[in-house]
Amino acid sequence: MIVELDGLSRHFVVRRPTGRFRREKRVVRAVDGISFTVAAGECVGYIGANGAGKSTTIKMLTGILVPTSGRVRVTGLEPVRQRRELARRIGVVFGQRSQLWWDLPLAESFRLLAAIHRLEPAVARARLDRCVDLLDLAAFLDTPVRQLSLGQRMRGEVTAALLHAPRLLLLDEPTVGLDIVSKEALRAFLTEERRVAGTTILLTTHDLSDIERLSDRVVVVDSGRVVHTGGLAGLAAAAGVDRVLVVDLAEPAPPLEGVPGTRFLSAEAGGLRQHLALTGSAAAAVAAVSARVELRDLTIAEPDIESVVRRLYHRAAATRPAGS
Ligand SMILES: Nc1ncnc2c1ncn2[C@@H]1O[C@H](COP(=O)(O)OP(=O)(O)O)[C@@H](O)[C@H]1O
Ligand SMILES: [Mg+2]
């Protein structure tokens, strides 16, 4: 396993003033007993609402944040204790924070990183050339990082993270704020990187297209806990979003309210077509409907991933105490 988390937690003690001289101490369970693994070559999407604990998890994987409890291994190493060794094996991109030198031209940042990683010049050159080519960096290699657009900078960040050919790439919101073209360029590049180098990827993202395009599976976190792991398919149930039963009737009928295992949503065409949310088994619901009316046709619509995740995020936001 490239990544192994077992009951990993990180709590923060925060003090906030509640009066002139009073301060309330509160424990934020940013990560609260998370367990999952990532196998070599996999690409796993780590998703959840703002404040769910994604960045805190990534920071513990890189060794910059000490866990409160639990176990974490990355490429077999213990991140905090073996941080330097780990740095040679992983590449990290935090969408919000740069690892590049702000005032130096991009190419100069790459030279420094190659020196830090003690890469053979020929090896560094070959890898860089490939990134320059695939990520279209040539036009701004000599531009100081601070003058780059966000899309240009992120392409530079990903190149910097991959220069030493890490076996694991950790990406925290790599596409946030990017234009469509830059997003696409990055996704295509990461797909190619996996194909050619077999790099394992763990990424957090708010963008479902990233997940659909890149991830083999997802781990969904909510308030520091894993609420779903697996394919995108089971996500709907985890989010509590119902599938929709669409029934076409032989004759117009009043709204099909109160059918067991369903919730009436809407009717069209004077009641000829009706939409019912499935809260139980589809077979039982269909039996119950057909006992009431004559069916002409029926379909079951899976909720689209977009609404599922919106719901998931919405719910997490609604259940979190105010101010956190
Ligand atoms: N250094 C910190 N001190 C106090 N609270 C923190 C700190 N870092 C993160 N948190 C809190 O932990 C929770 C998880 O944060 P984070 O891991 O950044 O979430 P995400 O990346 O999923 O948006 C949030 O409630 C956040 O406010
Ligand atoms: Mg974050």
Confidence of residue 102 (pLDDT cuts 50, 70, 90): very high
Q: In the structure, what pLDDT confidence band is assigned to residue 307 with cuts at 50, 70 and 90? A: low
Question: Looking at ligand 1, which atom is closest to the CA of residue 52?
Answer: 22
Query: Which residue, among 223, 230, 239, has the nearest Cα to 9 in the 3D structure?
Result: 223
Global pTM reads 0.78
Q: Phi/psi of residue 219, each to 5°?
A: -120, 120
What pLDDT sits at residue 324?
43
Q: How far apart are CA 161 and CA 166, in angstroms?
A: 8
CB count within 10 Å of CB 117 equals: 15
The answer to whether residue 78 scores a pLDDT higher than 50 is yes
Task: Give the confidence band of 314 by pLDDT, cuts at 50, 70, 90.
Answer: low
Helices (H) and strands (E) in the chain, counts: 10, 13
User: Which tokens in the block code for residue 248?
Assistant: 């076409």
Closest-CA residue to 58 (of 98, 84, 11, 92): 92
Q: Which residue has the higher pLDDT, 104 or 206?
A: 104
Residue nearest (by alpha carbon) to ligand 1 atom 25: 51
Q: Which of 39-48, 179-188, 227-236 has the lowest mean pLDDT?
A: 227-236
- pLDDT score, position 323: 44
Asked if the model's pLDDT at residue 25 lies above 90, the reply is no
Write out pLDDT tens, residues 113-146. 999 999 999 999 999 999 999 999 999 999 999 9
**What confidence tens digit (pLDDT) does each residue in 261-284 have?**
899 999 988 889 999 988 888 888
For residue 148, give the nearest of 160, 134, 163, 164 by alpha carbon.
160
| Nearest one of 263, 314, 265, 271 to 296, comparing CA atoms | 271
Check residue 242 and report its DSSP letter: P
8, 12, 220: residue to mutate for ligand 1 pocket, most atoms within 8 A of CB: 12
Collapsed DSSP state (helix, strand, coil) of residue 6: strand
Q: Which ligand has the shortest distance to the CA of 174?
A: 2
Nearest to 106 by CA among 151, 150, 160: 160
Enumerate residues with CB within 5 Å of ligand 2 (an ion): 54-55
How far, rounded to the nearest angstrom, does the alpha carbon of residue 11 sit from its chain's CA centroid?
21
pLDDT of 304 reads 63
The domain covering 3-16+27-237 belongs, at the CATH homologous superfamily level, to P-loop containing nucleotide triphosphate hydrolases (3.40.50.300)
Those residues whose C-beta lies under 8 Å from the C-beta of residue 310, and which sit 6 or more positions away, are: none
Tokens representing 128?
A: 């860089």
Whole-angstrom Cα distance, residue 312 to residue 69? 27
CB 146, CB 103: distance < 8 Å: yes
Per the CB < 8 A criterion, the answer to whether 8 and 182 are in contact is no
Closest C-alpha among 98, 199, 96, 192 to residue 136: 192
Residues forming a β-bridge with 20:
none
Kindly state the percentage of the chain with pLDDT values over 70: 90
Ligand nearest to the CA of 53: 1
Q: Which residue has the higher pLDDT, 321 or 239?
A: 239
pLDDT at 237 over 80: no
Ligand 1 closest atom vs CA 48: 22
CA atoms within 13 A on the CB side of 126: 6
**Spacing, Cα 175 to ligand 2 middle (Å):** 12
Residue 251: burial class (beta carbons within 10 Å; 0-12, 13-18, 19+): exposed
Q: What is the pLDDT of residue 137?
A: 95
**Which residue ranges make up each domain of the chain?**
3-16+27-237, 242-302
Q: For the segment 182-224, what is each residue's pLDDT rounded down to a tens digit?
A: 888 899 999 999 999 999 999 998 777 788 789 999 998 888 9
Going by DSSP bridges, is the β-strand pair 43-47/217-222 parallel, antiparallel, or unpaired?
Answer: parallel
Ligand nearest to the Cα of 51, by number? 1
Question: Confidence class of residue 156 from pLDDT cuts 50, 70 and 90?
Answer: very high
Q: How far is the CA of 195 from the centre of ligand 2 (A)?
A: 27
pLDDT at 322 over 50: no
Taking 70 as the threshold, does the pLDDT of residue 317 lie above it? Answer: no
Choice between 133 and 176, residue whose per-residue pLDDT is larger? 133
For strand 90-94 and strand 168-172, is the pairing parallel, antiparallel, or unpaired? Answer: parallel
- Please count the other Cβ atoms lying within 10 Å of the Cβ belonging to residue 70: 17
Tell me what percent of the residues of the chain surpass a pLDDT of 90. 63
Most informative mutation of 10, 28, 97 for ligand 1 (most atoms within 8 A of CB):
28
pLDDT of amino acid 321 = 52
Q: Which residues line ligand 1 (CB under 6 A)?
A: 12, 14, 28, 30, 48, 50-56, 324
Helix ranges (DSSP H) in the chain: 54-62, 83-87, 106-116, 121-134, 150-162, 180-197, 208-214, 235-239, 282-292, 305-319
Q: Is 118 exposed, middle or buried (0-12, 13-18, 19+ CB in 10 A)?
A: exposed
Give the burial class of 153: count Cβ atoms within 10 A of its Cβ; 0-12 exposed, 13-18 middle, 19 or more buried. Answer: buried
